[in-house]
Amino acid sequence: MAEGMSIAPAALPAAPGARRRRNTYWGEVGGKLIRQPGAMLGAAMLAVIVLAAIFAPWIAPFDPNKGSILMRLKPFFFRGHLLGADELGRDMLSRLIWGGRISLAMGVVPVLIAMLIGGALGLTAGFGGKLANTLIMRVMDVFYAFPSVLLAVAIAGAMGGGLIDGMIALTLVFIPPMCRVAESATAQVRNLDFIEAARATGAGGFSIVRHHVIGNVLGPVTVYASSLISVSVLLSAGLSFLGLGVQPPTADWGLMLSTLVPSIYVVPWVCALPGAAIFLTSIAFGLLSSGLRAAMDMRGA
């Protein structure tokens, strides 16, 4: 991912107009992002999903965990249940709305934590010399020996499963690719002219990284992190589907999909709703990530 991003010299903190140039760059990124229909569609979809999750206590029509044997596996629009009821007679719309909270948290939080840890490791590997690079990147290569899905399942299973264990498993899976992107971007920046000029003025390594390197590495890492959120949503749903993520009776899209599988021949459209929610959320994050990548690429500007 880092190879596809243009690296521009960061403005010197003391230079006149530095903040104005930085604001102009991000303003241009925002302007390009707004002009992309796909990115705006993804942003609109995410806005609806996020707002529904935030205001779940007020907009969910029923208690998501309260069921009734008389309402078991009822179809759409049955007695006020707009999207039917699940295998325990719980309102599907309410569970989908509440399930968005857990699914979004499982999708976003591990990526953000991995971005911080992996980004810091990548910066250290890229700017800390050959020894630091070798030690950090060889450890990261060990994780690359395993497919991400199997690694997440193995870690979550070894820890016993659950919401926190699932988040830890996903975080560990995403740290190596984050580290590699940050290391690659740092390697592109560290020998550029403005870095050499900063060294010539007597600036220390920490100061150079803080004022000049991070600003140029942040773009590629942010774009890659945004693309990983859709993957995280899918993986977290997979963990819950296998019983290694969120545990019953908590509403979660992956867990809902798992419990409804035996009933798919009775009410197929009701059973497909959690999968549709996972699919639409993943697509929305993917559209927004693609738009952000294109907006931050200044080579064609």
H-state helical runs in 190-272: 193-200, 205-208, 214-241, 253-260, 268-271
| 242 neighbors 154 (Cβ within 8 angstroms) | no
Residue 78, classed as helix, strand or coil, is: strand
Question: What's the pLDDT score for residue 220?
Answer: 86
Spans of the chain, pLDDT less than 50: 1-19, 300-301
Kindly list the structural domains of the chain, giving each domain's residue range(s) and its CATH number in brackets, ordered by start: 91-301 (1.10.3720.10)
Report the alpha-carbon distance of residue 168 to residue 100 in Å, rounded: 19
Length of the chain: 301
| 89 neighbors 67 (Cβ within 8 angstroms) | yes
Question: What's the pLDDT score for residue 57?
Answer: 93
pTM, two decimals, is: 0.85
Neighbours of 76 (CB within 10 A): 15
Q: Which residue has the tokens 């907009």?
A: 59
Q: Which H or E run contains 276?
A: helix 273-296
Question: What's the pLDDT score for residue 13?
Answer: 45
Question: What's the pLDDT score for residue 282?
Answer: 93
Question: What's the pLDDT score for residue 231?
Answer: 92
* pLDDT tens string 243-287: 888 888 889 999 999 999 888 888 899 889 999 999 999 999 999
| 271 neighbors 295 (Cβ within 8 angstroms) | no
Task: Classify residue 194 as exposed, middle or buried by CB count within 10 Å of its CB (0-12, 13-18, 19+).
Answer: middle
H-state helical runs in 128-213: 130-144, 148-159, 163-189, 193-200, 205-208
Beta bridge partners of 91: 85
